[in-house]
Amino acid sequence: MYLVTAQEMRDLDRYTIEHIGIPGVVLMERAGLAVAQAITEHFAQPGQAVVLSGHGNNGGDGFVVARHLAMAGWRTAVWLVGSEERMTADTRTFYESCRQLGMDVKTFGAEQADELRRWLETADVVVDALLGTGIRGPVRPVMESVIRLVNDHTRGRVVAVDVPSGVETDTGRVASVAIKADQTVTFAYAKWCHYLRPGAEHCGEVIVADIGIPPSVTTYRRPAARVNHPQWWREYLKPRSRWAHKGTHGHLLVVGGSRGMLGAVAMAGTAALRAGAGLVTIAVPEAQHDPLAAKVTEALVWSWSDDGHGRFAPGSSERIGERLNRLTAVAVGPGLGRFTGEREWLAELLRQTNLPMVLDADALNVLADHPDILTERKGELILTPHPGEMARLTGTDTVRVEEERYRVAKEWAERYGVTVVLKGTYTIIAFPDGTQMVNPTGSPAMAKAGSGDLLTGIIGALLAQKIPPTAAVPMGVYVHGLAGELAVTSAEHSVIASDILLQVGPAFHRLLSDRVRT
């Protein structure tokens, strides 16, 4: 499924109308019908509905909803919040149809506030068809008063049409006030605001409804973003050949594990094995060799010279050349720590190998202080920052990163020619060519130490199996999130990283089983 901006959606609508030949009123009728069906499927029998419509196309959808609800036996009150004179042609068509059916369409003014409030307090469902995708900045005072009435006085279910009114489509920003919906029914494709805070918190359950826009329109105007789904990388998700051996599925090197942080590198290495890597070697400072060897059983342990304090010594990264021809991917950062000579140490790793490499944790912090070393790299680079690490990379703060997640990730990926995995709720994957994915899997239970180390290992394992980054990265992020969901067997508060690790196998099994079924 694609993920679109407001302009991309307008272009796709226009192309469908002008070149495919499907009239706008047909699309509007199907949109309104989809919302009405979502409402009637939720309720066992008709009740009382309030439909709030603006004078734009979103309002036209609302008039269609009102007509279908009334025909289904609902007691329906329709309110025009806007100007009849400013209605679009398609909206006027359905406004007039409501009036011809004898429906009472009220025009909202300040003097009607008490009447609307009484309706809201008794309605089983309130339909928000006020603004749609076009809003930027604060809403007008009259619209603000209606939105506040809905938020403060509605006792029933609130259903938003396309986008909750007051939420900016492309950013999820709420400049003043926005409808708080229980459900949002959007059309053809999801919009960015359905995945970006704070707008996403106003959407409730999001349903993407088919309104008859042919899939072929994306060949005319291909959206730059997608919702991460197995359809995009399913061809690389295959059952194993009975003739496979450990060398068939790649060899990942995981580098990190300074004193006191061996758990991170051990978790990453074990996650890589769970994700299918045939061989995993973990490189740690020499003094950490024996403690790690006692901790892991399946991975190989390789010691590099240390600085006498349990961290890597300057120049120790040159050792990668000794085994480079045995490796197929590298992951650097879990438990790495900071140390003298770290810039040259990381630059040497980037210089020596053309293998795909994942950078996480303190490897990202080294990079933030020395971004010039990106010019040293030979292979494809994947960065997996959380918002704090992304803030350090961009020289800003976490507030701005969270406010502009998709822009920050996209700009950094394009500027430096790397793949950025900006972790968090709805992780964003930004590729060097400017395209992006938003990941739908995951759980609040994953907000625990060690979860990011698992992701590093999973992505590294898929890269080691020679899956291209455009597929390995979204597959790894999706599997990681799905494992996090499966790990919640009791309270989300109680899940730890090792619980998620145990669900990596079941997550792959579910995806492979789905592949067999389809």
pLDDT digits (tens, 9 = 90+) for 433-476: 999 999 999 999 999 999 999 999 999 999 999 999 999 999 99
234 contact partners, CB below 8 Å, separation of at least 6: 515
Task: Answer yes or no: is 228 within a domain.
Answer: no
- Rounded to whole angstroms, the Cα distance separating 409 from 394 reads 10
Say how many domains are in the chain. Answer: 2
Task: Answer yes or no: is 382 within a domain.
Answer: yes
- Rounded to whole angstroms, the Cα distance separating 407 from 225 reads 12
Task: Check pLDDT > 50 for residue 517.
Answer: no
Task: Answer yes or no: is 282 within a domain.
Answer: yes
- Domain boundary residue among 165, 195, 223? 223
> Could you tell me if 213 and 309 lie in one domain?
no
Task: Check pLDDT > 50 for residue 113.
Answer: yes
Which parts are annotated binding residues for (6S)-NADPHX? 57-61, 132-138, 162, 264, 335, 386, 453
Q: What Rg do the C-alpha atoms of the chain give, in angstroms?
A: 27
Dihedral of the alpha carbons of 162, 485, 387, 416, in degrees to the nearest 10: -80
CATH number of the domain to which 254 belongs: 3.40.1190.20
339 contact partners, CB below 8 Å, separation of at least 6: 258, 307, 309, 311, 312, 314, 345
> Could you tell me if 266 and 405 lie in one domain?
yes
H or E stretch at 458:
helix 451-464
Which parts are annotated binding residues for K(+)? 58, 128, 165
Task: Check pLDDT > 50 for residue 430.
Answer: yes
- Position 207 scores a pLDDT of 97
Give me the mean pLDDT over the 84-88 stretch: 92
Tokens of 483: 């494992």
> Could you tell me if 291 and 380 lie in one domain?
yes
Which parts are annotated binding residues for AMP? 423-427, 452
Tokens of 447: 């907000």
Per the structure, the complete domain to which residue 46 belongs is given by: 2-223
Q: Is 205 within 8 Å of 184 (Cβ atoms)?
A: yes
Give me the mean pLDDT over the 376-403 stretch: 95
Task: Check pLDDT > 50 for residue 233.
Answer: yes
- Position 518 scores a pLDDT of 37
Give me the mean pLDDT over the 13-35 stretch: 96
Q: Which whole-number Å values give the CA distances from 294 to 283, 288, 298, 337, in the listed order?
A: 14, 10, 11, 21
DSSP letter at 336?
Answer: -
CATH number of the domain to which 211 belongs: 3.40.50.10260
Q: Which whole-number Å values give the CA distances from 297 to 145, 336, 433, 453, 488, in the listed order?
A: 64, 21, 40, 18, 27
Task: Answer yes or no: is 233 within a domain.
Answer: no
Q: Is 38 within 8 Å of 208 (Cβ atoms)?
A: no
- Position 514 scores a pLDDT of 75
pLDDT band at 515 (very low <50, low <70, confident <90, very high): low
Task: Check pLDDT > 60 for residue 321.
Answer: yes
Tokens of 31: 């949109």
Q: Is 168 within 8 Å of 200 (Cβ atoms)?
A: no
- Domain boundary residue among 192, 223, 254? 223
Task: Answer yes or no: is 139 within a domain.
Answer: yes
- Rounded to whole angstroms, the Cα distance separating 490 from 215 reads 41
> Could you tell me if 268 and 138 lie in one domain?
no
> Could you tell me if 438 and 340 lie in one domain?
yes
Q: Which of 167, 160, 148 is nearest to 65 (CA)?
A: 160
- Chain segment 279-308, per-residue pLDDT in tens: 999 999 999 999 999 999 999 999 999 999
pLDDT band at 53 (very low <50, low <70, confident <90, very high): very high
> Could you tell me if 188 and 270 lie in one domain?
no
Q: Which whole-number Å values give the CA distances from 111 to 52, 106, 108, 142, in the listed order?
A: 16, 12, 8, 11
Task: Answer yes or no: is 230 within a domain.
Answer: no
> Could you tell me if 211 and 305 lie in one domain?
no
Burial 240-252 (b: 16+ CB within 10 A, else e): eeeeeeeeebbbb
Give me the mean pLDDT over the 375-392 stretch: 95
Length of the chain in terms of residues written: 518
Give me the DSSP letters along 484-495.
HHHT-SS-GGG-
> Could you tell me if 209 and 262 lie in one domain?
no
> Could you tell me if 215 and 318 lie in one domain?
no
- Position 425 scores a pLDDT of 94
- Rounded to whole angstroms, the Cα distance separating 503 from 499 reads 7
> Could you tell me if 217 and 97 lie in one domain?
yes
- Position 101 scores a pLDDT of 93
Which parts are annotated binding residues? 57-61, 128, 132-138, 162, 165, 264, 335, 386, 423-427, 452-453
Mean pLDDT of the chain: 95
> Could you tell me if 366 and 467 lie in one domain?
yes
- Rounded to whole angstroms, the Cα distance separating 106 from 89 reads 19
Share of the chain above pLDDT 70, in %: 99
> Could you tell me if 46 and 141 lie in one domain?
yes
Q: Is 132 within 8 Å of 139 (Cβ atoms)?
A: no
Task: Answer yes or no: is 232 within a domain.
Answer: no
Task: Answer yes or no: is 313 within a domain.
Answer: yes
- Position 247 scores a pLDDT of 84
- Position 303 scores a pLDDT of 96
